[in-house]
A and B are shown apart, each in its own frame.
Chain A
Amino acid sequence: MNKKPYRGFDYYWKRYGIFATLLITLAVFAILSPLSLTPNNLLTVLSRSAIIGISACGMTFAICSGGFDLSVGAILGLSTCVFAANLPLFGLLPATLLTLLVGGLAGMLNGLAITKLKIQTFVATLAMGMIIKGVALLYTHGSKQMLSRTENAEAKIFSQNVNIGSLQVQLAPLLMMALVFICGYLIYRYTRHGVYTRSIGSNENAARTAGIPVDRTIIIVYIVTGVTASISGLIRASQLMQGSAVLGDGFELDAITATILGGTSLAGGKGNIWGTFIGAILLAMIRNGLNMIGLSDEYQRLTIGLILLAVLAISGLQELREEKSA
């Protein structure tokens, strides 16, 4: 019964599409703006990709479990606020822990809304995102929480520049991203939680029938998504030396696009952590490249939105072909 796999465009796209896109993007920007290929700029791109990548890593688990998280932008925004407001009061470590705790808590509320109130994931996280952003606005009274470069210099730790020879690089975000992805991969590949997540995404009913703690697993998945979003929040707050509820606006688009670009299927059951990693770098590169050729944030969003639709269309058309041959 085992058929020889059909090796058309779909097959190669699934395997190598992301790399090809990466190279093409690199080439296009190299032509448009020669500066973009300098080592310094490439390192900047890498460290910029950390913010997207870390959240996207959590998002990969959410999508792999058959769900979705539209609240990561709001959680990122709230995290910057919590961090910036509490750092001057309690110091670096307590503020950091508090931020992560808030992120985890927000994620847990998502998980509870999904499992206990039985709301579809994307609407549950949509509504939670609205609530979380509202809370962030309430918490800061709608204003920016500025950190002083002299008094709160320790906040810089998450985006510290390090000189390596002639190169200057924000090492902390890179290390954090590496850590998150290595942990993510190990969890995905080698732990019970990873298997549970995949099995729920693959067939939730079967997972229930097999006696898997489905609700608990889903709640953990969203706690992780929340925590990763708040790690991204820490880095952003540290880079900008401020906290504001609006800092996460539209961020979910980047996180989701990176994940989908990386080859994680919206149908659930299959995640691709390293694909997400590359997807995040690709997105950062696109944003950086568009920046260098002088396009504003609007055009960047337009591009990313179109990229998201294009990638989805490719997998959608593939599904359509399978449907037709089925």
Chain B
Amino acid sequence: MKTRMSDIPRKCLYLGILAFALLLPWLPLGGSSNYLLRILTTATLYMVLALGLNIVPGFNGLLDLGYVGFYGIGAYTAGLLTLHYNVSFWIIVPLAALNGAIWGILLGAPTLRLTGDYFAIVTFGFSELVVLVIRNELWLTRGPMGLPGIAPPSVFGHPLTQDWEYFYLIIFLLLIVLFVVTRLEDSRIGRAWYSIREDEIAAQCSGVNLIQYKVTAFAISAAIGGAGGAFYANWFKFIHPDMFKFWESILILCLIVFGGLGSIVGTMLGALALIPLTELLRVVLPQNLFSGRYLIYGVVLVLMMRLRPDGLLPFVRFQQNKARRAQKRLAPTGNGE
């Protein structure tokens, strides 16, 4: 892995993007700069979330429709700890990630033996249950009243207020997650995951403990979701059960498939393309054509999948017969093959 030819230009590209991101708030854009920063902060947050989700369907080949449940758990963990105990943001993020991971293990351990879409629908049911609990347990979450007035995070005693400060914060979070995910990808665990994705039975025969590796993947994915939720709560300073509806899971899934399932750079590119798209359409389309915004959004999804069914930057790790890989990607148990 170390001698991959593309490594050096890739690193340069990463550094270039990072430098550009750090410079971005200081470009002379006048009044629109905060608007732009807000959109890019949202896009970066979704990059983090997408990188987390990618571990399960991308690396392991399991369809997860309940990712937003962990995101919501993280956000409420952070929101409640900030409001009631005024815990520092830097302690909250790991705690929220830990809470996400715990629920990931609790959900994953009994359900990860399920195959294909049965697993998907159980994760969906789980995320709906999370939202229902948030909505109905008023004593804990204030339910539909939401949690307003969450204190902003502070860095060395300085509370963050400016849009660029949050942008830097989420870039920092992204870098950490990116580091974790790329290291995982190249590790023993990552290789075990790929083997599970490509052929579960072959992996098992080669000594991969399926449940153990799948639960690990699910827990790490949930932890990243939880951390993303923690940032979200402290950035928005207000959380509400409606923010964690099923649609969010679908959206994040769209990002990773749009960008290239399993590919880290592709996943990030997917978020960077799709999240600002709705705002771009808002600015470009004429005022009275607001229903055109999501109309076009839908068409973009359909066209993109038609033109590049493997996503913007397809995952290329094994030089295999493309069609075979495509067939096997989400049917690890060989459904009728």
A, B in one complex: no
